[in-house]
Structure 1
Amino acid sequence: VPVGGVQTDIYGFETDINWSADIRGVVNVATVDFLRRENSVNFFVTAGYGLVNYSATRNPAGGGGEEFVYKYGDGGVDDNKTQPYVPIGAGVKFRVSDRVSFNLGYTVHFVDTDDFNGLPDELKNYTKDKFAYGYGGLEFSLGSSAKPSLDWVNPLALMYDELKDPSLRQEVEALKNRVANVEKSIEDLKKDSDGDGVSDQFDKCPGTPAGTAVDGSGCPLPKAPEPVAASSVTGFETIQFEFNSSVLKTEAYPTLDKLSSVLRENGGKVTANGYASSEGTAAYNVKLSKDRANSVKTYLVNSGVSASQVVTKGNGEANPIASNDTEEGRIQNRRVETTRN
């Protein structure tokens, strides 16, 4: 491809492009259309990077004299030279069919050199050279015919079609139903018919009368025993415990304080017999009843009683004082009894 011209009133030049290769990106700038689903005209811009191999020939202006082939390289030994360049272009394409378009464009090539025109050093202005050309031709899009060419796809129309797709609507409706089911399940979990603060799903005693104090399972709490009058406390009253617990209740303190006073003032020994209700295994209940007796002993020792004055025994489920078939009876059986030795 020859390009040339008159640089001064002395020299002309002609540059032959032996070969060039580049990679370009294309940006379509007119595919979005708010008024029409499809366009027949599209504008585009291109940019890329490549290499060009060229040779330049100088000749005197006006056609007289001999031509001079410009020499490149150190010492001027090469007729050809390869340099990088950047092609920048713009154009318009006209739709012929889904896969064919007619293109018109113009591209400027910015070459990374100042000797593309073959001028001698004394005539160079030391700016990068460039060359340009216009073109026209047919463009064929390759690929599967089942997919549309991106050159003519209107994103707005594509989005509209997807939103109108019946299968998408079905998926949305199915999602709404799933959300509704989840919301119903949450409401069921929150439902508390008897208003005791425990939801129906976890309420083991539904229909509790309003105002009744309940435990975590929704069952009424046992009524606290009436406090023993200080004047009638002997120190040998039965000491009650919560279910599966060996922790002393605060209402047991007056009894234990009285027992501690009796032992410290009068001496002697006592036996703390621990018991359990029938829940759990026999072996576990023996251990639990022993722990309850030890809790009594620990309290007495901490209050000044000698450890040798208190003997502890764990009797497990033995010797119940009430039926283990009812909660009221089981509450009474969770106890420690103290007796003089």
Structure 2
Amino acid sequence: MKQRLIKCLPLAAALLIAGNVQAQESTSMSSGTQMPLTTWSIGVNGGVLTPISPLGGKNDFSNWKSNFGYGLYIKKQFTPYFSLRLDGVRGKLSGDNSKPFISGLTPASAVNRFETDLTYSGSLNAVINLFNIDMFKKEDNVQLYASAGAGLAGYQVKTAPTAGGTLVDYAGGKTISELIIPIGLGAKFRVSDKINLDLGWTVNYVDGDNLDGVYREGNDKYSYGYAGLEFALGTGKQKAWHNPVALTYDEALAARQTANALKGELDATKAENARLRTDMNDILKDTDGDGVADKLDKCPDTPAGTVVDGSGCPLKVPVAVIQEKVIITEADRKVVADAIKNLEFDLGKSTIRSKSYGTLNRVAALLIQKNFSLKLAGHTDNTGSNALNMRLSKDRAEAIRSYLVSQGANASRIEATGYGEEQPISSNKSAAGRQNNRRVEFTLF
């Protein structure tokens, strides 16, 4: 088992270091942008090494001592809550029997004191962030974690039979290698986007009883309490502090706000369309059915079937019906073409803009002068529902008819029809095509 682990640890280190080429990832924000996240970090620390564990087990010496230890690690953060860390620790362990055990027993051992040089200690640890989930914070400033793993420790032991005796190599100067199981707890404090203060404590259980030079058929252990700094590699924020739960909450709020805004716009559009329909009905209302809208009808109570002029009043002199050949010249067609070219309505409405009045007035004069008949055909693009487009095209054609009649044209000789989106002349897939399809065609005959 130990030999396999010796082979696996260098391989794990190589994989972690090689993976550092891709030192960051990214995550989507509620705004749609990508926020870079760094996933690799290195740490350095220093602290106290002691040859005991308060988590259970027997101590071979009554007086354990604290010595300086130091270490470093490289870490890969896979999720905000889980990472793998490759740790290395060095230092010295020592103790003696200069006082009784806590139980009151007097030490009885052929070895009175020892010193162990921890030549190396390497382990691969899984680190779990215990408290980093906050629904309303994207990043916390304090983080608790637990770790556990496996590794190897190499050490040289020296022992002495008396308090003042000379220390002698326990294994003849050889370095002893043993399997270790480290279990730890720690706390991190975010100093900046790139630096964390790291406080931790690790108990290392040794798969052997040679660490202190006394063999009592019980595995040894040693503790390492430390403080250090962790440095994030790459650009962006640290993934370990990233809280996707809070970001998801933000996205949900943003989506809800967007939905509320769209609903408000839809309600406003519906209200505006209702008002436009009411206004159009008032404009086109023709109570006596003579073809002249009430707002333009100077004789609103004309009996049914009465021939009226452009103001809605009965013609005093019957107009003789003269069958004659209608001749439409190029000049006449140009008057109509200019009217079509300059025709503009308010967006989504049938209200004619004032800049169109001049060319429409020339069309009205042409109809009066030459007694032409005119067909108005309203068309739209495919934006909106078919029913709404049909109504808008009809309303625009009727609005032009009403205006020409108001200028003296014969209402009975003007036909207004709406075709909605049914007769496009261009593709509705482009803005230019849709612009061409939004039109009113004038046909003289």
TM-score class, shorter-chain normalisation, is 0.3 to 0.5
* TM-score (norm. length: structure 2): 0.33
Of the two structures, which has the highest relative contact order with CA contacts closer than 8 Å and spacing of 6 or more?
2
* TM-score (norm. length: structure 1): 0.43
